[in-house]
Amino acid sequence: MSVSEAPVDKSESRVREMFRQVAPRYDLMNHLLSLNIDRYWRWRAVRTLALIDDSPILDVCTGTGDLALAIRGRLGDRAAVVGSDFCGAMLRIADDKQGGDRRPTDGGPPVRFLEADSQALPFADNTFQAVTVAFGLRNVTDTDRGLAEMTRVCKPGGQVMVLEFSQPTLPGFRQVYRVYFEHVLPRIGQALARNDKDAYRYLQKSVGQFPDGQALADRMTAAGLTATRFRPLTGGVATIYTGTKPDA
């Protein structure tokens, strides 16, 4: 972040209202603006999960539920999946996705979606064998508090996984992507998903000001995780981060 650039406003009220306004077109915009590569990123994230038992899995900042539903699709009835978010409008869309004919046919429960603040999760310590978040951690007002809560509710030996946008490092591609991300994407996003919170300019600024690579891995370590590592995807446009909660 440059000295002259003001920190992006990540207040709870602003972010909640922003997502409420874009919720109806949120999935369409994600797929369109990422050229559908966001589906691949989630596919990779699901296959990165390291499961330890049949305890439930929690997906925080679940939004419209894409990662939670992908995890449920892979696991079948082997473990329950819970998705939490503080924006009710997004959760209603998430729950609609598994309605009707999409209800599980393998005997397992559907994903349980509930409204909750990721900075104060309503779960007991050591509840989930894995805690995940996809493209939501940077929207949490206090990143370290969010990571601490994810670690708290994770079981010892369990995994915390973050899928988040990052800064490309590949020469040439980095410059082209920056032009697209800073100038083209915000204009398309605002035109197709109109809102009074400038949501897609917020997206560009929030990614630019959010720690990535080793910096975010270090924040995960500071939250109490061990064996933290990260793997860039698609030239560094997105990155998967993992860490393990140590045994007591």
Residues of the chain above pLDDT 70, percent: 95
More confident residue, 141 or 106: 141
- Mean of pLDDT over the chain: 92
pLDDT at 211 over 60: yes
| Domain definitions of the chain by residue range | 12-244
pLDDT tens digit sequence for 26-78: 999 889 889 899 999 999 999 999 999 999 999 999 999 999 999 999 998 89
pLDDT at 4 over 80: no
pLDDT at 171 (0 to 100): 87
The residue-averaged pLDDT of 145-154 equals 98
pLDDT at 159 (0 to 100): 98
pTM: 0.93
The fourth-level CATH superfamily of domain 12-244 is Vaccinia Virus protein VP39 (3.40.50.150)
The residue-averaged pLDDT of 195-201 equals 85
The 3-class SS string of the chain reads CCCCCCCCCCCHHHHHHHHHHHHHHHHHHHHHHCCCHHHHHHHHHHHHCCCCCCCCEEEECCCCCHHHHHHHHHHCCCCCEEEEECCHHHHHHHHHHCCHHHCCCCCCCCCEEEECCCCCCCCCCCCEEEEEEECCHHHCCCHHHHHHHHHHHEEEEEEEEEEEECCCCCCCHHHHHHHHHHHHHHHHHHHHCCCCCCHHHHHHHHHHHCCCCHHHHHHHHHCCCEEEEEEEEHHHCEEEEEEECCCC
